Structure 1
């Protein structure tokens, strides 16, 4: 019995390490794809309307296409298409901040902050092997609240209502929420809760993407420009 238990535990450990390795490899490649797509978007001066359509297309892919392809080789190409769309949709936003006097500094600070948070939190989980599954209820509830608030702001803006400071507070909430999701999603991979590296990659990518955008808004709003 002890031998069977040891073999099972060893096999589980090998499987988890494989998922973790494949996840970070694919994540690094998707970041490269996003960066190239974003650079092209910025170079051609992509408009905000087109960027919004790309975001909607990316949401459609992650909801309807990815679940059907995540267990096949085509799932990797779907992930690349998904991250390319989101990367390209960032072009107008980054161009907006680059037009500020200290725009380059704002973007670099957002990138540095994103990298610091991601590697710091992921490194903590990888080192301690701590299980953060207990955060699931809190994170899901927080995500629902953030989405509802964002929709409310869109509707309010449509009617010309603009509440000072709300957008800034929402961005701050997203930063904390995505930080929690980084802990949670990395923990799921480490502890065998997520065995599909394609889905794991998408989860971590979305955490990083939303973290970067929110930090960009926060730093841009508090700049001297």
Structure 2
């Protein structure tokens, strides 16, 4: 009898667990986005220069490693804020550069609006339809790796055309990653809200910077 009751309550327990992960993920994501915006604003207010590609990559992957290592403890949350704060710090000088353009405020607002619309729209679609997008995992992994290497090539070899193509690729890839990760949470594939938050934050960050680049080129006189 006890086994029967336990079996009957497993689906309910699974739903409650999934809802808890979703709630914690979006709560932590909202706080890290606000913290990232604050560090970006501080960087802009102080007129700090961009730390450069090497420091950015070392800082990002180092903090990502620490976040992943301590994802099941309170330190994981601390490192999430360290990671997102650092990324906000690197974003400040980039936004300042665009704001210095004649129509810079319009470009930044368009990029922010586009990022919010894409994220909210895709998240709502994944949640309401509850479709399983796990099949996209392999494609996204390969695509992001290729785009990342192509982006490094565009920087080192100073190829604006390739850089523009990489930004367009990242818009598509990050949109797919939002669908994939949201679906992953809903279907129980991701049970750690710290790692879910990191994935969604990185998607939003790359989506915003890619749109910023594309809109900057399109609005360039």
Q: TM-score range by the shorter chain?
A: over 0.9
- The 5 Å alignment of 1:36-185 reads 36-49=38-51, 53-63=55-65, 65-157=66-158, 162=159, 164-185=160-181
Unaligned runs of 5+ in 2: none
Cα distance, 1:51–1:90 mapped onto 2, change above 3 Å: farther
1:186 partner SS: helix
Q: 8 Å contact 2:150–2:162 — kept in the other structure?
A: no
In the alignment, the residues of structure 2 paired with residue 168 and residue 50 of structure 1 have an alpha-carbon distance, to the nearest angstrom, of 19
Q: 8 Å contact 1:55–1:85 — kept in the other structure?
A: no
Report the counterpart of residue 28 of structure 1 in structure 2: 30
Q: 8 Å contact 1:51–1:88 — kept in the other structure?
A: no
Q: 8 Å contact 1:131–1:188 — kept in the other structure?
A: yes
Deviation, 1:94, is 0.4
Report the counterpart of residue 201 of structure 1 in structure 2: 197
Deviation, 1:51, is 7.5
1:163-194 deviation line (CA, Å, top 9, x unaligned): x5221111001000000000000000000000
For the aligned residue pairs, the C-alpha RMSD in angstroms reads: 1.5
Deviation, 1:153, is 1.8
Deviates more, 1:96-105 or 1:139-148: 139-148
Unaligned runs of 5+ in 1: none
1:193 partner SS: coil
Q: Number of paired residues?
A: 219
